[in-house]
Amino acid sequence: MNEQSRRPRQQGKPYRRPKKDPVRVLAFDALRAVDERDAYANLVLPPLLRKAREKDDFDGRDAALATELVYGTLRRQGTYDAIIAACVDRPLREVDPPVLDVLSLGAHQLLGTRIPTHAAVSATVDLARVVLGDGRAKFVNAVLRKISRQDLDSWIEQVAPPYEDDAEDHLAVVHSHPRWIVSALWDSLGGGRAGIEDLLAADNERPEVTLVARPGRATADDILGALDAESALPGRWSPYAVRMSEGGEPGAVDAVREGRAGVQDEGSQLVAIALANAPLDGPDKAWLDGCAGPGGKAAMLAGLAAERGAVLLASEKQPHRAGLVAKALAGNPGPYQVIAADGTRPPWRSGTFDRVLMDVPCTGLGALRRRPEARWRRRPADLDGFAPLQRGLLRTALDSVRVGGVVGYATCSPHLAETRAVVDDVLKQQKGELLDARPLFPGVPALGDGPDVQLWPHLHGTDAMYLALIRRTG
């Protein structure tokens, strides 16, 4: 006899077996994996979806809903936590994590989707009965009914501190970011309330999937021609980019399957193109990508180098990631080499290269829209962890390039401690001059005062990539 069948029924209320809804059970499983195993949502979801789709009753629409529930719940977790906290009579840390996950899933359906209120509550309570048991489902029911009495705007007005009292705390609750990240993004972006609100809101949007036609192997027109006009658009800024419309499957595109194209944010494409086009006196034969894994920018650089008669050395510390680089570069029209090496103790001689890209490991605060759980995992102390490595790798880059050659220092974080602070510190010890990178982003607006370039999701539709171009002068 299981626990449920032993439970006495309430008079006049016949026992109703909960509906086992595969979409919500899958979303719950994914959230538990993220919470319990520190899994990444973008890695944990695809196998769960694949397994579910092997069953006839789980179709593409179910997969889209499950994805939206997981990503949306994780992104908006900060806002939902504040609302749930106002509806329970104990501190959130005393609520069991699986119960909190079910409540957050319910809150997202009620406040962040168009699912009708009654359906959101009953589907979530059914989920609670399946995964938590009847007793805790009652608690879930009571909390969700409280949440459902107001819409998101009214809740925010109730739970967020007024902007005038504490602007960063207000924005943290409204836009569901940790306060320290709001503060760091605002420091880097500058300006007033409108800009930072737009940026934080953009972090909560689902990003487009962008493809890159790898130079010398495919063109954006080839890819656009092979897809119908409704499923793809040209890139906004990169001549190699193709933007897929919602629900587009990169794996269904021949050029992607054949390795002639890949999935790559337009910001990353622009960084690689800018380094390749930076003005250079003298030879332009030897290029280095010193942090190449998994190979997105290296594949672009290798193609661009081939067009110029140059050779790319793609180096990556982690051997398995070096393997991914080799896979991305296979089929490149010109010569290249892939090695596994620690960029802080390089095996090549000083002054070997004409162009060097150092796309260093960083907090990834510029790609929060892609990794919905990342903002809750990152800690300010992570910056201290990356700081020596970022400086060491930039020092290597400046040492590896010949005098007169150009280094591109890139991050997918706009945090000033990972961008300008690193460049300024290293240039105090090594000889180099900053080049104005902005003209190398033709047609891209709002690039600030230079000489470095910071891209932004809300202004450019890209990840917040950073690029400083430095010419070695001594």
Ligand X SMILES: C[S@@+](CC[C@H](N)C(=O)[O-])C[C@H]1O[C@@H](n2cnc3c(N)ncnc32)[C@H](O)[C@@H]1O
248 or 392, CB closer to ligand X? 392
Q: Does 321 help bind ligand X (rule: CB under 6 A)?
A: yes
Q: Does 408 help bind ligand X (rule: CB under 6 A)?
A: no
Half-sphere exposure of 401 (CA within 13 A, CB side): 35
In angstroms, give the least distance from the CB of 289 to ligand X: 6
In angstroms, give the least distance from the CB of 338 to ligand X: 12
Q: Does 189 help bind ligand X (rule: CB under 6 A)?
A: no
Q: Does 366 help bind ligand X (rule: CB under 6 A)?
A: no
Q: Radius of gyration of the chain from Cα atoms? A: 25
163 or 348, CB closer to ligand X? 348
87 included as an active-site residue: no
DSSP string, 12-46: T----PPP--HHHHHHHHHHHHHHHS---HHHHHH
Instruction: Name the nearest CA neighbour of 200 among 457, 393, 452.
Output: 457
Cβ(455)–Cβ(267) under 8 Å? yes
286 or 322, CB closer to ligand X? 322
Q: Does 418 help bind ligand X (rule: CB under 6 A)?
A: no
Instruction: Tell me how far CA of residue 399 lies from CA of 208, 219, 312, 315, 452, in angstroms.
Output: 38, 35, 17, 15, 20
Backbone angles phi and psi of 420, in degrees to 5: -65, -35
Cβ(304)–Cβ(279) under 8 Å? no
Q: Does 407 help bind ligand X (rule: CB under 6 A)?
A: no
Cβ(235)–Cβ(269) under 8 Å? yes
Sheet with 209-213, side-by-side order of all strands: 232-234, 241-244, 209-213, 261-263
Q: Does 343 help bind ligand X (rule: CB under 6 A)?
A: yes
Instruction: Tell me how far CA of residue 271 lies from CA of 14, 237, 248, 261, in angstroms.
Output: 63, 11, 25, 17
Q: Does 268 help bind ligand X (rule: CB under 6 A)?
A: yes
215 or 296, CB closer to ligand X? 296
126 or 418, CB closer to ligand X? 418
Contacts of 208 (CB under 8 A, 6+ apart): 243, 244, 461
Strand locations in 252-390 (E): 261-263, 286-289, 311-316, 336-340, 353-359
In angstroms, give the least distance from the CB of 459 to ligand X: 21
Residue found by looking up tokens 């399946």 in the block:
130
Which of 361, 366, 408, 432 contacts ligand X by CB under 6 A?
Answer: 361
Which of 68, 168, 222, 342 contacts ligand X by CB under 6 A?
Answer: 342
Q: Does 318 help bind ligand X (rule: CB under 6 A)?
A: yes
Q: Does 126 help bind ligand X (rule: CB under 6 A)?
A: no
Interface segment toward ligand X; rule CB under 6 A; list 42-50, 170-178, 336-344, 348-356:
336-344
Q: Does 291 help bind ligand X (rule: CB under 6 A)?
A: yes
Interface segment toward ligand X; rule CB under 6 A; list 12-20, 68-76, 167-175, 286-294:
286-294
162 or 385, CB closer to ligand X? 385
Cβ(106)–Cβ(69) under 8 Å? no
In angstroms, give the least distance from the CB of 352 to ligand X: 16
Interface segment toward ligand X; rule CB under 6 A; list 37-45, 247-255, 276-284, 311-319:
311-319
Backbone angles phi and psi of 383, in degrees to 5: -60, -40
Q: Does 316 help bind ligand X (rule: CB under 6 A)?
A: yes
Alpha helices in 344-443 (DSSP H): 374-377, 381-400, 420-429
From residue 227 to residue 266, the character string flagging contacts with ligand X as x (rule: CB under 6 A) and all else as - is ----------------------------------------
Catalytic residue among 87, 291, 362, 412: 412
Q: How far apart are CA 468 and CA 80, in angstroms?
A: 38
CA angle 374, 376, 381 (to 5 degrees): 90
Q: Does 297 help bind ligand X (rule: CB under 6 A)?
A: yes
In angstroms, give the least distance from the CB of 318 to ligand X: 4
In angstroms, give the least distance from the CB of 6 to ligand X: 53
262 or 461, CB closer to ligand X? 262
Per the rule left: phi > 0, alpha: psi between -120 and 50, beta: everything else, 171 is alpha
Cβ(164)–Cβ(123) under 8 Å? no
Which of 106, 112, 215, 293 contacts ligand X by CB under 6 A?
Answer: 293
Interface segment toward ligand X; rule CB under 6 A; list 18-26, 72-80, 88-96, 314-322:
314-322
From residue 440 to residue 459, the character string flagging contacts with ligand X as x (rule: CB under 6 A) and all else as - is --------------------
Amino acid identity, residue 140?
V
102 or 271, CB closer to ligand X? 271
278 or 291, CB closer to ligand X? 291
Q: Known catalytic residues?
A: 412
What residues make contact with ligand X under the rule CB under 6 A?
Answer: 268, 291-297, 316-318, 321, 342-344, 359, 361
